Structures are given as C-alpha cells and as structure tokens.
C-alpha cells in the first residue's frame, strides 16, 4: 500500500504561540487592511494589543471592517479613506492616525491589484494601474510614514508575491510590480537600519478564500486540472500570513531585516501554472472562459 502524503493541519491562532500583550501600546498603519490577507494581518496584530488604522478607497467597506476588527480584538481600529496612488491623501491618512493614536510603530504596505492577462492583450493602462497601486503605492506609503517609524524605531512589512521568481504567464504586470516592491524593501532596510527601522517582505503563495486566489485560479470544468501543487498538502490560510506578520513585527525578529519570506507551503519549488501551458499563450481566446472577468 503506497504511503499517504502528509496534509498540514490548519494553522493555529498566533495567540496560542505569542503572548497576548506583546504589541500593547503600539499602533499599526495598514494599506489594503479592509479585506482579505491584510485584514487578517491587521486582526492578528490587534489581538496582541495594538491599535490600528486601515486605509482604502471605499470608506463604507473600510468602516465595516474597522468595526469588525475592533469588536473581534477589543482594541481600536480607525478607518481612513485614501488612495495609495495619491501622496497627499496618504499624508492626510497618516496625519489622522497620529492625531488619533499619537504614533505609528508598524506599517503594512498591502494595497494591490491583479488580474489575469497575457502581454498581447494587456493594455498599457492596465499595466500602469498595477504598477501605480503596488509599487508607487508602496513608495508613497513609505514616504508618508517614515518620519514616524524613525521616531518609534518601527518596522515595515510589504505584501508581495512569488510570481516573479520565475516567468509566470499572464502575470507580467504584477511580476514587475512586486519585483520592484521587493527591491524597494531591500533598499529601505539598508538605508533605514541605521535609524533603527526594519523592513521585510511577506510573499504569500496560494491563499484559499481570498480575492487574489479567486482571480488567479482557473474557472470552469477543467479548473481542477490546473490547481497549484503544495508540498504540505493544502492551500494557505490567511492565518498563515497573519502568524508570519506577528513574528516579523515582534522582538523575536528584531535582527531580521531586508528579507523576503515566502508563505506558500513550498509550492514555489514545484511551480504549476493556473492555466494550461503553452495553449494559454498560443491561443489566449481558447482559455478566456477559464479567467474571471475584471471588475
């Protein structure tokens, strides 16, 4: 009888590993914190004592998430409307956070955009938009928050991806944007280390139940043939990324900076594609039904 493959059990809550109060008195500023992975990252940090400000473009959705986070953690969460592509709006968001909490200790640069498209069908505007949200948005967030992180000897986490480690079809826009984010974090770590500021990257792999996973997964009856292979036997959970976040912001990681930490169950080493290859690049129209339309 062949051996059965290991299936990694679901992740534990960070509060079962780390002390509840390790971030007491700290403040988190998170772009993209209103949903998905970044909301889970924010919740985990708040569960350990921090207050938070979450930033996004849609205030009603953001306020609902802030209420959820405050109710779940018992700590305060401020919803601040801003577009990361607009430096002035981000500066105003930071000012509101300082007015409310008096400091910023942690920053998560998590605002992002993505969709599937081959280069031949990707518009110049589509490419530019993802670069502006992911790369320029990260830079704008750094610029707006850096004086406060110097003051608090704080720490950045940038949410990236593993797509650019190899050539990933239909992902040129995000691959270019996230490669730039990784490079930006490395320079930030080198320049700001002497000021006491750390900067690291978390690169999630396929995380179940997220908008990103939904957008990048094949659709239709043949979708199961193009699932990502994971050595640990399951897709990731938002808690997996949240737990890495708590570690990297904690004093346990105080000598870790300038690093990229994939949280992907090892799937990058196997790298299966979400669409049939080479058919998807030879005839993009043939796989159109397997791609979620852009909103």
Point out the residues that are catalytic: 160, 178
34 neighbors 82 (Cβ within 8 angstroms): no
CA distances from 259 to 107, 119, 180, 186, 187 (A): 16, 30, 14, 7, 11
CA distances from 55 to 107, 163, 183, 188 (A): 11, 25, 23, 21
Q: Do you find a cis peptide bond into 278, omega within 30 degrees of 0?
A: yes
């Amino acid at each position: 009888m062949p051996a059965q493959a290991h299936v990694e059990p679901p992740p534990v809550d960070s509060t079962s590993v780390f002390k509840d109060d390790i971030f007491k008195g700290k403040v988190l500023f998170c772009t993209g914190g209103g949903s998905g992975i970044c909301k889970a990252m924010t919740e985990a940090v708040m569960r350990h004592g921090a207050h938070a400000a979450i930033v996004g473009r849609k205030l009603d959705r953001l306020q609902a998430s802030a209420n959820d986070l405050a109710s779940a953690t018992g700590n305060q969460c401020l919803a601040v409307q801003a577009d990361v592509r607009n430096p002035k709006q981000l500066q105003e968001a930071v000012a509101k956070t300082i007015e409310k909490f008096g400091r910023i200790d942690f920053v998560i640069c998590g605002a992002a955009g993505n969709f599937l498209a081959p280069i031949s069908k990707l518009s110049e505007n589509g490419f530019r938009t993802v670069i502006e949200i992911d790369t320029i948005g990260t830079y704008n967030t750094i610029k707006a928050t850096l004086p406060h992180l110097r003051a608090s000897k704080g720490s950045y986490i940038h949410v990236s991806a593993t797509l650019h480690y190899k050539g990933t079809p239909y992902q040129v826009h995000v691959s270019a944007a996230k490669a730039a984010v990784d490079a930006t974090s490395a320079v930030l770590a080198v320049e700001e280390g002497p000021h006491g500021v750390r900067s690291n990257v978390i690169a999630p792999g396929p995380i179940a139940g997220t908008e990103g996973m939904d957008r990048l997964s094949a659709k239709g009856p043949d979708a199961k043939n193009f699932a990502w292979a994971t050595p640990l036997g399951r897709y990731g959970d938002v808690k997996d990324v949240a737990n890495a976040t708590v570690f990297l912001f904690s004093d346990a990681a105080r000598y870790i900076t300038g690093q990229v930490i994939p949280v992907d169950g090892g799937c990058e080493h196997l790298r299966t594609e979400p669409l049939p290859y080479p058919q998807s690049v030879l005839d993009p129209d043939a796989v159109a039904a397997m791609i979620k339309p852009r909103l």
